[in-house]
Amino acid sequence: MKSLKLILFFCFLYFSLSLIAQENRIIRVFISTKTEIIGGKKYYLHTVEQGQTLYSISVAYNVPLEEIARENAIVNNLIGVGEELRIPFVSSTVQSEPLPSRDSSDFIMHTVSRGETLYGLSRQYGVDMNEIIRLNPEASNGLRVGETLRIPKNETQHSETVTAPNPDSLIGIDTSKFIIHVVQRRETLFSISNLYAVTISDILNYNPEAEEGIRYRQVLIIPKATTFEGESIFVEVDLSKDTTQYLEIRDSISCAPIERKKTLNIALLMPLRLDEVYGINTNFSGSSYQRDRNQNAHTLEFIQFYQGFSLALDSLKLTGISLNLHVFDVGEDVSQANEFVNNPQMKNLDMIFGPFHATSFAVVADFAKNNNIKLINPLITSRNDFPSNGNLFNISPTPKLQLEEFVKYLKTAHKDNNVIIVHYNTQQERRILDIIKSSWIASSGDSTLGFKEVLYNQTGQTGILNNIVNDKTNVVFCLSSNEASISNFIRKLSDVQDENNRIVLFGLPNWQSFTTLDLEYLQKLQYHYFTPVYINYTDTNVLDFIIKFREKYAIEPDAHAFKGYDMAMFFLFALNEYGPAFSECINYIPVDLMDSRFKFIYNATNASYNNIHLNILKYDYFTIKREEY
């Protein structure tokens, strides 16, 4: 019965994928700094980069697609990499006016509840976040439960009759998997997709009516993005709980190729949701399909991981590696994991990839340990409950490991520079700072800290100025995760920089999800951030993979696809070439990867191997590049 479900699932998958739009990753388009007056009219001169489309360019510049096509004599919306486009200039500058005085009837008095944020309140009431801070200055340091804020009534609340979202349209929406977003003024599909780190195609899959455009106060159903390690958000994570002890893997260990096993038996455990396949509406011409397509897309959430994994198996087989793959539908339901471990045939596996959820993974981890099977953890970063297992390989670095590795980078790449760490003294920022300090001391061997600390909410710009060293590179690392505070901070920091000092700004990985940060300030400050995940779309291996993926699946690969391909290529090559002892030379496996780079350390607390590789990315002439160190 299981095999029949699997066959039906992939038959449906092959058919349905051909109908899915090919825009599956967010291509960031930066506004060009090059302008020119042509025929008395001002234009941006934009050079098309890999992955950009006429649609994404029109959204970025807020100029209708048709107008750009007309100005550049573009046929069928086709543009080429390297082509220079003339984009009509649209001024976004709004002349500010003094705010008129208001009485109490002009405000809503809001009492802060647990879990509320400034950003959430700005969306709830349809007002600018900075306006809330202006009227409630203490809110710039974070919200306190029970405090009362003055929220200005926006124009709509004064003069328009606003139709609230229809509750009937939200019936049946699983809020653990979806976010209900109410469109605000000046928002676009592009800005909303960046806000929630999902693609425009994802939004359109769940909101087909948005293909004709979105309007103010329209309700959108936004799928929650799957968290990969590169999207690890440091807020709401108690970094102090991770007390694991790690050891460097010895460089002197090497592996010799072994006599290859006849066939490698491997298993991939991932949430295919086969029980939902029968409920998928395949009547694409029927009116009910539009209603049901939200659930249809939900079943395909991780399918590109499988597709990338499968493409790697094709490549490995061409090199003569014989593989026997078992695919199991294992999600959050522990009973699915129990069904797998109770199958006696699975005791003879050589390697297991997954599951993707911690509850199921703990069950499989016990099974792998008892049967001496190599176990690969693709996504889960919180793993304190996993059993001690020398066969366990954790791919996603924990937030604590990322910080510790970043400190090593600072001490290596910026040892001769002036390092300044800025924070607002929130609880989470103090936790991050404690880890930085302990890592700095541990790697130095003494209690000397090689950086300066600025408590920005107390000293402000003066604190920065007092710690800047002229004629030297000043590395400023800001620990805040408050978007409004960061937006204000980078503007003021940009004013500090002049010809006498050079400032290099570093931020946390979650800054990439913010939409209000001014790109010109980030460029001026040579903004850097760290992340375990980076796909270089100019790399020949990446371009070759994209072409193969398109040919096989008729769709663009997303982050899951790259992840699945890299993991299969790396670990199956290592197992086939060096046998079960490949862990002894795991940092020297000769495999070219795309999304992932691996650098493992040994977890002495639970006898597992943990990837700690970080990418240091920087803004360079409005592009993002990787810095080697």
Q: What's the token pair of residue 78?
A: 């086709």
Question: Which of residues 61, 88, 115 is at a domain's end?
Answer: 88
- What distances in angstroms separate CA 510 from CA 226, 371, 426, 572, one per listed residue? 14, 39, 17, 32
Query: In terms of pLDDT, which residue wins out, 220 or 191?
Result: 220
Q: What is the pTM of this model?
A: 0.63
Domain count, the chain: 5
| Mean pLDDT, range 297-321, rounded to an integer | 87
Cα–Cα nearest to 232, from 618, 561, 621, 615: 615
Domain-embedded: residue 82 = yes
- Please check whether residue 254 lies inside any domain of the structure: no
Closest by CA to 281, choosing from 270, 290, 272, 273, is 290
pLDDT tier for residue 399 given thresholds of 50, 70 and 90: confident
CATH number at residue 74: 3.10.350.10
Instruction: Tell me the pLDDT tens digit for each residue of 542-601.
Output: 999 999 999 999 888 888 999 999 999 999 999 999 999 898 889 989 998 887 789 999
- One-letter amino acid at 6 equals L
What CATH number is given to the structural domain containing 433?
Answer: 3.40.50.2300
Q: Which of 188-202, 224-238, 551-565, 595-609 has the lowest mean pLDDT?
A: 224-238
Question: What integer is the mean pLDDT of 415-443?
Answer: 91
Give me the percent of the chain exceeding a pLDDT of 70.
Answer: 74
Q: Are residues 544 and 498 in the same domain?
A: no
pLDDT tens-digit series, residues 460-493? 888 999 999 988 999 999 999 888 889 889 988 9
* pLDDT the model gives residue 21: 38
Q: Which domain holds residue 172?
A: 167-223
Q: What is the mean pLDDT of residues 442-453?
A: 81
Give the pLDDT of residue 371: 95
pLDDT at residue number 302: 85
Mind listing the pLDDT tens digit for each residue in 251-273? 555 688 888 888 999 999 999 88
Which tokens sit at 170?
């939200």
Distance separating alpha carbons of residues 528 and 535, to the nearest angstrom: 16
For residues 308-317, average pLDDT: 96
Mean of pLDDT over the chain: 78
For residue 350, tell me if it sits in a domain: yes
Mean pLDDT of 4-31: 51
- What pLDDT is stored for residue 154 in this prediction? 61
pLDDT of residue 384: 61
Residues 426 and 572 in one domain: no
**pLDDT confidence of residue 39:** 61
pLDDT at residue number 264? 96
Q: Is the pLDDT of residue 457 over 70?
A: yes
Instruction: Provide mean pLDDT across the span 167-184.
Output: 64
Q: What pLDDT sits at residue 76?
A: 66
Out of 205, 223, 241, a domain closes at 223
Smallest CA-to-CA distance from 330 within 275, 385, 384, 388 is with 275
Q: What is the pLDDT of residue 386?
A: 75
Residue 93 inside a domain? The answer is no
State what percent of residues in the chain have pLDDT above 90: 30
347 and 422, same structural domain? no
**Same domain (yes/no): 132, 177:** no
In a domain, 251, yes or no: no
Q: Is the pLDDT of residue 234 over 70?
A: no
- At 514 the pLDDT is 82
Q: 32 or 174, which is more confident?
A: 32
Same-domain check for residues 441 and 512: yes
Q: What is the pLDDT of residues 327-364, one digit of tens each?
A: 999 988 899 999 999 999 999 999 999 999 888 999 99
Q: Same structural domain for residues 552 and 449?
A: no
Q: CA-CA distance, 175 to 179, in Å (whole number)?
A: 6
Q: Per-residue pLDDT for 129 more than 90?
A: no
Residue 164, pLDDT score: 40
203 within some domain: yes
Single out the residue in 130, 159, 188 at which a domain terminates: 159
pLDDT at residue 419 greater than cutoff 70: yes
Residue scoring higher pLDDT (574 or 621):
574
Residue 279 pLDDT level (bands cut at 50, 70, 90): low
pLDDT at position 421: 97
Return the pLDDT at 93: 29
Pair (480, 507) in one structural domain: yes
Mark whether 413 and 523 lie in a shared domain.
Answer: yes
Give the tens place of pLDDT for each residue, 490-532.
988 988 887 778 999 999 988 887 877 888 889 999 999 999 8
Does 138 score more than 90 pLDDT? Answer: no
Q: What is the pLDDT of residue 313?
A: 96
- The residue that leads in pLDDT, 141 or 17, is 141
Which pLDDT value is given to residue 159?
Answer: 41
Residue 42 has a pLDDT of 79
Over range 386-391, report the average pLDDT: 80
pLDDT per position as a tens digit, 46-88:
888 877 888 778 877 878 887 888 887 776 677 877 788 888 8
Residue by residue, what is the 3-state secondary structure of 312-334? HHHHHHHCCCCEEEEEEECCCCH
Within-domain flag for 467: yes
* Cβ within 8 Å of residue 277, ≥6 positions away: 5, 8, 9, 12, 299
Which pLDDT value is given to residue 423? 94
Helix, strand, coil abundance in the chain, percent, nearest 5: 40, 15, 40
pLDDT of 114 reads 67
Q: Are residues 200 and 268 in the same domain?
A: no
pLDDT band at 289 (very low <50, low <70, confident <90, very high): very low
Same domain assignment for residues 175 and 115: no
The better pLDDT of the pair 42, 489 is held by 489
What's the rounded mean pLDDT across residues 109-118? 74
**Do residues 44 and 111 share a domain?**
no
Output DSSP code: residue 225. Answer: P
- Is residue 181 scored above 60 in pLDDT? yes
Q: Which of 64-73, 208-217, 273-282, 606-615 has the lowest mean pLDDT?
A: 273-282
Q: Which residue has the higher pLDDT, 192 or 360?
A: 360
For residue 603, being part of any structural domain is answered with no
Burial letters 414-429, b for 16+ CB under 10 A, else e = beebbbbbbbbebebb
164 DSSP assignment: P
Same domain, 456 and 506: yes
Burial class from Cβ neighbours inside 10 Å (0-12, 13-18, 19+) for residue 135 reads middle
